[in-house]
Amino acid sequence: MTTAEVLKPDHVSHRKHWIFNDEHDALRDSIRRFVAKELTPFADEWEETTFPDSVIHRMGELGFLGLDKPVEYGGQGGDYYSNLILAEELAATGSGGMAMGIGVHTDMAMPPILAFGTEEQKQEWLVPAIAGKKILSLGITEPDAGSDVAGIKTRARYDSATDEYVINGSKTFITNGHRADVIVLVTKTGDSGGYDDVTLFLVPMNLPGVIRESRLEKLGMHASDTALLAFQDVRVPSSAVLGQVGKGFYHIMWELQGERMIMCAGAVAGAQNLFDKTLQYAKDRKAFGKPIGNFQVIRHKFAEMATKIEVAREMTYSTAWRFANKEYPVREISMAKVYVARIVCEVADECLQIHGGNGYMKEYKIERAWRDLRLNRIGAGTDEIMLDTIGRSYGL
């Protein structure tokens, strides 16, 4: 080998990650075009109004809501990674709230229906949800119970006279809670005090006794509709049980794994977008006679951010590979979740800093990302819960 053959760095070459193939690229491309044309132009408006239901209808029409779902239910029959791609591409809108609303529909509420639902339930909810005709939500958190899922109080009492369950309780922080047609509801059906008391239900949101109490105001995610819900003597037939009675805790723990993966993919893509945008800014913006990016201290900020993003992406992809292979990698997913959640906040803050006063202004949309991304350290399991999960996995 001569030195002329020594590889020279080529930073712009596109390298497909090993979990993706050409079909994935084509899918990414078509989602990207849709996002640029039909979502991004309205993102600012939706921050004020929340995004309209028509987004879900339209995405259903285009087949984007069931990318990895079986063809017999109207899905595209794609692999698990196709959903990661959707989450990544939705990040380009800069509307974390909209992306979250879609994610709750496709990757939080939908998977348990597919995994644990009866054929009848799938026909009633999954098929129209994939088609974008019905909107899904998921109810875990309550005013007095969040991370401690076993501590929830919403109760479903069996009424043997009518073979119905009567549900009472309340749920909070429910994404899509106002727009949803149905909620996958986590309830207690037993009194043993353990994990085997929990049962999932599919509760239509138009039933008597389902009360949408308020639209919650938030730090970020303004495009998302977040609800406080109350359930007062809501009667559902026993056929509304999703999965097995008493297995709800384990069902929902499984659901959370997929939710965390999707969150990771979207958040890393969001951080990458911020990075790209800020890099351009640092090259354009001049101070003391040169682009600010040429100052060493700014250059190293980019090096630090790029490293964090690259680590986060590899951790997400390699863990997604395990998940796609039907492993149940709770430890690795928890690691990815906490790592990603932290670094996207750090990246957002550093991008805000590099933008200076402009970063603080609404116009540049950096402050919005800063607010939106902050949720990642709380939602779908806080940093602290993730650390506890990881620590316990070693027998500690």
Partner 1 sequence: MSSLAEKAGVGAPAHRPLPPFTEEHQEFRRAVRRFVETELYPHADEWEEAKFFPNSVFNRLAELGYLGLKFPVEYGGDNDPIADAVFVEELGRCGSGGLAAGIGACTGIALPPVAKFGTEAQKQRYLVPGIRGELTAALAITEPDAGSDVAGLKTRAKRVDGGWLVNGSKCFITGGVRADMLVTAVKTTDEGGHHGISFLLIDKGEGVAASPLEKLGWHASDTALITFDDVFVPEQNLLGDENQGFYMIMANFQWERLMLALGAIGAMQWCFDKTLAYALERRAFGRPIGNFQVIRHKFAEMAIKIETNRALAYNALRLYAAGEDALRQVTAAKLTSQRDAVLVADQCVQIHGGNGYMTEYKIERALRDARLGPIGGGTDEIMKEILGRSFGL
Q: Which residues bind partner 1 (CB under 8 A)?
A: 1-3, 6-11, 13, 15, 17-18, 115-116, 243-244, 247, 250-251, 253-254, 279, 282-283, 293-294, 296, 298-300, 302-304, 306-307, 310-312, 314-315, 317-319, 321-322, 325-332, 335-336, 338-339, 384, 386-396
| Cα(78)–Cα(64) distance, integer angstroms | 11
β-pairing, 198-204 vs 241-242, is antiparallel
CA distances from 360 to 44, 160, 170, 292, 356 (A): 16, 59, 37, 17, 7
Pick between residue 224 and residue 334 the one whose CB is nearest to partner 1. Answer: 334
User: Which tokens go with 70?
Assistant: 């079986």
As measured in angstroms, the least distance from the Cβ of 200 to partner 1 is 11
CA angle 384, 228, 188 (to 5 degrees): 70
As measured in angstroms, the least distance from the Cβ of 9 to partner 1 is 4
| Cα(211)–Cα(311) distance, integer angstroms | 44
| Cα(24)–Cα(83) distance, integer angstroms | 10
User: Which tokens go with 94?
Assistant: 């800069």
Smallest CA-to-CA distance from 188 within 226, 136, 148, 135 is with: 148
The DSSP secondary-structure symbol of 94 reads S
Contacts of 394 (CB under 8 A, 6+ apart): none
Is the CB of residue 304 less than 8 Å from the CB of residue 296?
no
The DSSP secondary-structure symbol of 217 reads P
As measured in angstroms, the least distance from the Cβ of 279 to partner 1 is 6
User: Which tokens go with 233?
Assistant: 């003597």
First to last CA, the chain: 52
Pick between residue 49 and residue 307 the one whose CB is nearest to partner 1. Answer: 307
Helix axis angle for 330-355 and 248-284, nearest 10°, is 30
As measured in angstroms, the least distance from the Cβ of 337 to partner 1 is 10
As measured in angstroms, the least distance from the Cβ of 383 to partner 1 is 10
Q: Which one is catalytic: 89, 124, 259, 350? A: 259
Question: Whose structure tokens read 């239509």?
Answer: 204
As measured in angstroms, the least distance from the Cβ of 222 to partner 1 is 31
Pick between residue 166 and residue 378 the one whose CB is nearest to partner 1. Answer: 378
Single-letter amino acid, residue 222: H
Pick between residue 299 and residue 362 the one whose CB is nearest to partner 1. Answer: 299
As measured in angstroms, the least distance from the Cβ of 60 to partner 1 is 26
- 310 flagged as catalytic: no
Is the CB of residue 106 less than 8 Å from the CB of residue 126?
no
Pick between residue 267 and residue 338 the one whose CB is nearest to partner 1. Answer: 338
Pick between residue 130 and residue 200 the one whose CB is nearest to partner 1. Answer: 200
What is the SS3 assignment for 25-78?
HHHHHHHHHHHHHHHHHHHHHHHHHCCCCHHHHHHHHHCHHHCCCCHHHCCCCC
Pick between residue 267 and residue 315 the one whose CB is nearest to partner 1. Answer: 315
Residues marked as catalytic? 259
